[in-house]
Structure 1
Amino acid sequence: MSEAQDDDVQEFAASLTRMKERTDRSYGQLARRLNMNTSTLHRYCAGDAVPLDFAPVERFAALCGATPQERLELHRLWILAVAARQRSRTAAAEATGTAGTPPEPAGEPVQDPVSPEPAGEPALDPVSPEPPHRPWFRRRRFLVSAAVATALLATLGSLSALPDDDRRPGASDSVEAADPPRATRPGTPRPKSTKSPSPSPKTSSSPSAGASKKSSPKPGERTEEPSKGPGQQRPPAGVPLTWSADSHVWQAGCGHDYVIARSPRQVPPPPAPQDAETWAGTQNAVHGRQTLVEVSVQGRTSTAVVLEALRVRVVGRSAPGRGSSYAMDNGCGGALTPRYFDVDLDKDRPIARPADGNDSGVTIPAMRLPYRVSAEDPEVLLIDARTKGCDCSWYLELDWSSQGRTGTVRIDDHGRPFRTTGIDGLPRYSYDTSARKWVPYS
């Protein structure tokens, strides 16, 4: 496929992906509503495949709430993508000569049953002649098949001689590279915190140690309890899931407060939502009153991973800090409230409680654990943590199980705890776009 043709396909896939990201549904949830396979929908959004009919694309756009103009543009992109795929297949067929039967080499008869085999190839049966009307390419296909079968039998024989418990220590999954340094310039797109916990299992060396209570994992670590059934094979090493976290999510896409220890004249205008993390980092801002954390979780393979429980652990609690609260809006709202986990940080022992969402008066049922994910069916967890009277540092613990193994991953803010502080009693400002300055909140 040429570069221009590939661009047409990728532009269509990117449009589908943008529509999908506007919803709070996973690929699996959308696929079930569309009556299609999860892997098929994922291939469409990744640009690996293009639907031959626009009907499923139309249903997908309607499910994602696309406007009539967006649907018209999506139809135009789909036409270009289908044409690009058809041109690439035609070019590939012409290049490989698959439009008809393979060309026959000059000088070699096709229907001569007693003709000798080509030089360098042993005869299949020196005694019995080859059946009549067998083309040259079928004879060679039989030879290749026989050679492959012989090699496969030899390989299976050598594997059967190996001991069953031949496992070298350290032969586990590779660890993903650490996150690159984040940019701090305003306007730079904010990265999401992506973590891959260490694959080395943390197990006890004695039976009594396994009965002790579960300790909280350190940053970047997780605990795992392998299955110990008699005669059971050792499960594969490594955490079977990955996750990423974004703590700079605004309510309804526009409402949020940051507490900053600077005067209004020293604080720049509010950023676009996608630049919130960079903007907050340059101002040493702390989440005011509320922290919305969006956690994307998916398995490493198609094997299901069960998310068993989500817990909150507060590691620091003090009086709200000094400074002023800067509102990113002057009042906004939306018809869609996604389902979420509600966390009251003012409680001595905060609990992540599932809460229903709302879509224009229609209830969105709360997500209740346990819940299954895989590489083809990721899930997004939204955590709404609030406080009135403390400056709280906290993180999340996610329990998982898969193939007889259990473990816990720590979800935090780039290796640090999340931080939320109350704003009661603090000066509060909103930005006046006409005067281009911060003014007291009204």
Structure 2
Amino acid sequence: MPSSRYVPGRRTRWRPRRVVLAGVAAAVALSGVGLAVAMPDGGPDRDGHREPAATARDIGGSGPRPEGGGAATASPSGSPSPGGTRRDKSDRHEESAPVQPPASSPARTGKPGRAGAGPASGPAPLTVSTQPHAWESPCSQRYLVDLPPERVVPPPLEQDAPGWVAAMGAVPSGEQFLKITVQGTGKETVVVEDLTVRMAGRRAPLAWNDYAMGYPGVGCGGGMPKRFFTVALDAARPALVPEAGHADFPFKVSQSDPEAYYIQADASAYDVRWYLELTWSSGGRSGTLRVDDKGRPFRTSGHHGRPAYEFPLGGEKWVKAGTTDAS
């Protein structure tokens, strides 16, 4: 071991170890570089546990450390967050919000109304009520029911037809007669531009029993309504056709002057589901309303070749059509 004594005339190369370490620490501090550069791995503490490597922020770096684990997210490479916890890419929630249409985009409407009219904003200035089981005459309407005669109740009056149809699960047979009433809700006049037939489905006619409303031998006459239209549901493109001598659309309605439209829809070769679209305009507004049976399409089925039944006046049960014997 070299002597620490001073020898005159001799150059001494030995320095105390503490001086060397102090010089290294001073050089690092003056250079502004964290000890993480010189010591990338942490050393064991007094209890033998290995500490994480120090960072520039821990040793003289700029900016305070976040408290409580911090809200900082991980970098794309998955490096440790300031809170000391490594977060994977899958832990980040960086999904974009759904793209919203521009505020200036016009709302889509149905069939356009009168030329120059703009899309409707706010509620339509008219009301539409539908009577899907109106009868042209007391004996004209027939219904298909998937039940034997002994399980079908007697025919109803016209005003009771909706309840009877619902109870029996009945479908208009051969034809369906509708009444549609349109009325304005304000002082302005509303133009009913058109009623368009839309198809919701078509298939083979129902193979059910056919029941006639009304009673044989009772007068079954009926008057011709003012606005009367027919539609052939078997056609490739069914459309409303005004009865001979009757006016066609457009019509004007208001709060004090409602209109009623009667539609006779015929079906022979198909079981048809269908509805109507009513196009209107008023001033600079226009729009389209769907007309159906309380949110469901109308349904009309052909009945050719199906067993037909009628209920005699004063009888107690259904009998085959054309017979008078109730036994």
Length-normalised TM-score, structure 1:
0.46
Q: Which has the higher helix share?
A: 1
Gaps of 5+ in 1: 1-202, 217-221, 229-233, 357-364
Q: Are the aligned partners of 2:311 and 2:317 in contact in 1 as well (CA < 8 Å)?
A: yes
- What is the CA-CA distance between 1:258 and the residue it aligns to? 0.6
- Does structure 1 residue 315 correspond to structure 2 residue 220? no
In the alignment, the residues of structure 2 paired with residue 241 and residue 392 of structure 1 have an alpha-carbon distance, to the nearest angstrom, of: 28
Q: Give the 5 Å matches for 1:144-155.
A: none
3-state DSSP of counterpart to 1:252: coil
Q: Find out whether 1:251 has 2:131 as its counterpart.
A: no
Aligned partner of 2:239 among 351, 371, 376: 351
The C-alpha deviation readout for 1:218-265, integer Å capped at 9, x for no partner, is xxxx9999956xxxxx98632110010001111223321010000000
Contact (CA 8 Å) 1:305, 1:373: kept in 2 or not?
A: yes
Do the aligned partners of residues 215 and 409 (structure 1) sit closer, same or farther apart at CA in structure 2, a change above 3 Å counting?
closer
Partner of 1:371: 251
The counterpart of 1:326, out of the listed 211, 214, 218, is 211
Q: Percent identity?
A: 40
- Larger Rg over CA atoms: 2
Structure 2 residue corresponding to 1:290, chosen from 162, 175, 184: 175
Partners of 1:341 and 1:355 within 8 A in 2 = yes
Greater relative CO, 1 or 2 (CA 8 Å, sep 6+): 2
Q: Secondary structure at the match of 1:280?
A: helix
Q: 1:335 to 1:238 in 2, by over 3 A?
A: closer
Instruction: Confirm whether residue 300 of structure 1 aligns to residue 220 of structure 2.
Output: no
**Shift in alpha-carbon separation, 1:413–1:226, aligned structure 2, 3 A:** farther
Counterpart residue number, 1:337 = 224
1:434 CA drift (Å): 3.5
Equivalence for 1:29 = none
Describe the SS at the equivalent of 1:281: helix
Matching of residues 379-394 of structure 1 within 5 Å: 379-394=259-274
Inter-partner Cα distance in structure 1 for 2:176 and 2:208: 18
Task: Indicate if the aligned counterparts of 1:392 and 1:419 stay in contact, CA closer than 8 A.
Answer: yes
Letter in 2 for 1:256: Q
Distance in 1, Cα, partners of 2:154 & 2:138 = 17
User: Deviation per CA, 1:299-318, whole angstroms, max 9, x where unpaired?
Assistant: 00121000011110011000
Which of 293, 296, 301 is the aligned partner of 1:416?
296
User: Which residue does the alignment assign to 2:279?
Assistant: 399
Distance of 1:227 and 1:273 partners within structure 2: 40
User: Is 1:432 the counterpart of 2:296 in the alignment?
Assistant: no
Summarize deviations over 1:114-142 as a string: whole Å, max 9, x none.
Answer: xxxxxxxxxxxxxxxxxxxxxxxxxxxxx
Q: Following superposition of structure 1 onto structure 2, how do residues 85-234 of structure 1 map, counting pairs within 5 Å?
A: 205-206=104-105, 227=117
Query: Residues 385-425 of structure 1: CA distance to partner in whole angstroms, max 9, x if unpaired?
Result: 01101000000011100011111100000000000000001
In structure 1, the residue corresponding to 2:318 is in which secondary structure? strand
- Residue 272 of structure 1 deviates from its aligned partner by 1.4
